[in-house]
Structure 1
C-alpha cells in the first residue's frame, strides 16, 4: 500500500492474465524452492505420509495427503472423491501413487482406524513390505474415550455435565456469574477431539466444583430469575 501511494494515482495494477499466468508461475516456483529443505530432510531421515478425509460445506468428499517429518507437515495432494466409493483399493491406489512422488523416503503411512483404511494397509504391505502402516494415535484415543463415555455409569454424568455447561453458556447472566466466581476461568476445555473435550470439561468442572457451589448458593444467584429454571 505504501509503495502504491508513493507511485501515485497512475499506478497500474497487474492484469488478470498476468496474475493467472506469469505471477502465478513465479509463486509456484517460490513455493517449490521453499520446499527443498524439507525434501532434503526426507532423503536423510525419511518421512511419513498422512491421510485426511473430510466433507466440505457442499458435502463434497475430499481426501488430502500430507508429508510429515521433523521439520513439519507439507501438503502433498488433494483429491475430490464424491463420485467414488471409498474402498480399500481406491485409498491404496491414491496413497501408492503419492508414495511414488517421494521415492525411497517414505517410512510409514498414517491413517485412522476405519475398516477401508485397514484393508488398504494390507494391500500396501503386499506391494511395499518395507513401509509401515500406522493407525492414528489421536483417532485411537478418540474411539477409546467414545466407548468409555457410552458406558452407563459415565453416560449419565456426561449428559448432566453437558446440560449444565450448555445452560451456563446460553445466558449472559449465568456466564458472567460463573466467570466472576471462577476468576474469569472457563469451565469448557477444548481438546484435540470431541470426546477428549468431554472428559477435559468433566475434569474442569471437578476442579472448579467449590467455586460453582459458591455461585449457586450465593445471594446473586438467588436474586437471578434463572435460579427458578
Structure 2
C-alpha cells in the first residue's frame, strides 16, 4: 500500500535527512508493518549510466565548455544576465550527474537567448569574440544540434 509522498526538493538529500523523514513515517505506521521503503535516490545511478554514452559525454563536454567560457569572463557574464532574465546556466544539486543534466535542461531552455547573445552587436564588438575560445563558443551555440 502506498502511504505517503514527501516533496523533499527543499532539503539537502543526505542520509541523515532521509532517515529523519522516513523514521517519522515508520514510527507512525509501526516498524512491524513496513515491508519496503522506496525513494528516488536510484535515479542518480541511472543518470550516471546515461552520462557514459558517447553522444551524451560529447554534449556535456560542449556544455561545460560553453558555461566555463561564459562564467570565466566578467564581460560575457554581465552580457548573459539580461539574455537569461537573470537565470543562471548552472543548476547545482547534490550529485554531479544531476547537476549536469539540470544544467543541460537550462541551456536548452535558454538556447535561443544564448544564440541571440552570441550573435549580438555587443558580442561582435567584444574582443573575446575574436579569440579562439570565443569562436569555439559561438560554434557550439549556433550549430543546429545545440
Aligned partner of 2:71 in structure 1 is 169
For 1:1-150, list aligned pairs within 5 A: 52=15, 66-69=19-22, 105-106=30-31, 132=35, 134=37, 136-138=39-41, 140-150=42-52
Do the aligned partners of residues 194 and 132 (structure 1) sit closer, same or farther apart at CA in structure 2, a change above 3 Å counting?
farther
Residue 177 and residue 210 in structure 1: after superposition, are their counterparts in 2 closer, same or farther (change >3 A)?
A: same
Q: Which has the larger Rg?
A: 1
Please, which of 215, 219, 222 is the counterpart of residue 117 of structure 2? 215
| Distance (whole Å) between structure 2 residues aligned to residue 134 and residue 226 of structure 1 | 53
Q: Cα 1:65–1:203, aligned 2, differ >3 Å: closer, same or farther?
A: closer
More helix by share: 2
Task: Give 3-state SS (helix, strand or coil) of 2:21's partner.
Answer: strand
CA distance in 2, matches of 1:65, 1:135: 11
Cα distance 1:148–1:164, how it changes in 2: closer, same or farther (>3 A)?
same
Residue 91 (structure 2) pairs with residue 189 (structure 1) = yes
* Count, aligned residues: 117
> Higher relative contact order by CA 8 Å / sep ≥ 6: 1 or 2?
2
Q: Give the Cα–Cα distance (whole angstroms) in 2 for the partners of residues 197 and 65 of structure 1.
A: 20
- Counterpart for residue 101 of structure 2: 199
Deviations, residues 49-87 of structure 1 (Å, cap 9, x unaligned): xx839xxxxxxxxxx994435868xxxxxxxxxxxxxxx
* Cα RMSD (Å): 3.1
Q: Which runs of 5+ in 1 are unaligned?
A: 1-44, 46-50, 54-63, 73-101, 108-129
Report SS of the residue matched to 2:15.
Answer: strand
Point out the structure with the larger strand share: 1
* SS of aligned partner of 1:186: coil
Counterparts in 2 of 1:65 and 1:210: CA distance versus 1, 3 Å:
closer
Q: Deviations over 1:6-53 (max 9, x none)?
A: xxxxxxxxxxxxxxxxxxxxxxxxxxxxxxxxxxxxxxx9xxxxx839
TM-score, normalised with respect to structure 1: 0.43
